A and B are shown apart, each in its own frame.
Chain A
């Protein structure tokens, strides 16, 4: 079936460095992608999203890049801080309409563990 996956399961960086987390997706029909951050014992926290009609979107210290040609998504975190340490997931939103109703669900990748050393 369709799936979303991550290239690197772990990433260790020094405080202040920039971090790049990568994600490959396989459902070319998907038109929306989300990055989530999940800390231990907590639910996923929204970071940033991007639609397929864009190739770049910036937030506060974060940038998401989308390359539809190779079905690749990345999350860049600038000036990484210890508080950024968490598991990061990319998710693909699949949505469709049928019988007058709207359906949708997220398909997540396995996650990348980001560790930031002070």
Chain B
């Protein structure tokens, strides 16, 4: 158990619809990351939160994507007007500040299929 849960695990939607994913890390994980992974590739960084502040966004995060972490605990990733190219596994990772390790612990991911 990595202490990071994600919901839903699978999402099938039609092109043009909006979708929202949720990530719940344990309270000690004040740093939260979103990644996208397509088949056969490694995860690609999307965005990073330290507590409630979104400190970095990848150029992969188009205007249709928005992420929030309103209370510094759970986070949501929303995709508006989904496109078939958005089909991927969306992974959330989290870690604590300081300590002896910079390891990010991943959740199980949300598999998005856009028809």
Question: Which residues on A are within 8 Å of B, measured CB to CB?
Answer: 4, 32, 34, 36, 41-46, 49, 89, 91, 93, 95, 101-111
Contacts and interface: CB of A to CB of B under 8 A. Distances in A.
B59 to A, nearest CB: 11
Contacts of B84: none
A4 B106 CA distance: 19
Interface residues of B, number: 30
Contacts of A36: 106
A108 B44 contact: yes
Contact of B33 (A34, A89, A105, A111): A105
Interface stretch (B63-71, B75-83, B96-104): B96-104
Contacts of B43: 44, 89, 106, 108
A45 B91 CA distance: 12
A102 B41 contact: no
B91 A95 contact: no
A42 B42 contact: no
Among A36, A105, A109, A110, max chain B CB count under 10 A is at A105
